[in-house]
């Protein structure tokens, strides 16, 4: 429910994930689900470049996606 609330009440990938983290309690799980849902809505293009640049194993992830 919390992840869906974040998605419905924000307008970007970053806003959705940050809203989930800022809810408190079990934020890692909530943010992971919110990020997955936001990824469906906004696509990889919606994820901030500075977040993508910090991913460990980015090349492997991209190879699996594209």
Q: State the Cα torsion 20-47-39-41 to the nearest 10°.
A: 100
CA distance 49 to 29: 22
Whether 29 has a binding-site annotation, put simply, is yes
Whether 28 has a binding-site annotation, put simply, is yes
Neighbours of 15 (CB within 10 A): 15
* Sequence ranges of the binding site: 26, 28-29
* Sequence ranges of the binding site for Mg(2+): 26, 28-29
């Amino acid at each position: 429910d919390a992840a869906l609330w974040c998605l419905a009440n924000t307008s970007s990938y970053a806003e959705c994930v940050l809203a989930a983290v800022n809810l408190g309690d079990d934020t890692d799980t909530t943010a992971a689900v919110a990020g997955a849902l936001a990824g469906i809505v906004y696509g990889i293009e919606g994820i901030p470049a500075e977040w993508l640049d910090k991913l460990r194993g980015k090349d492997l992830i991209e190879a699996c996606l594209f």
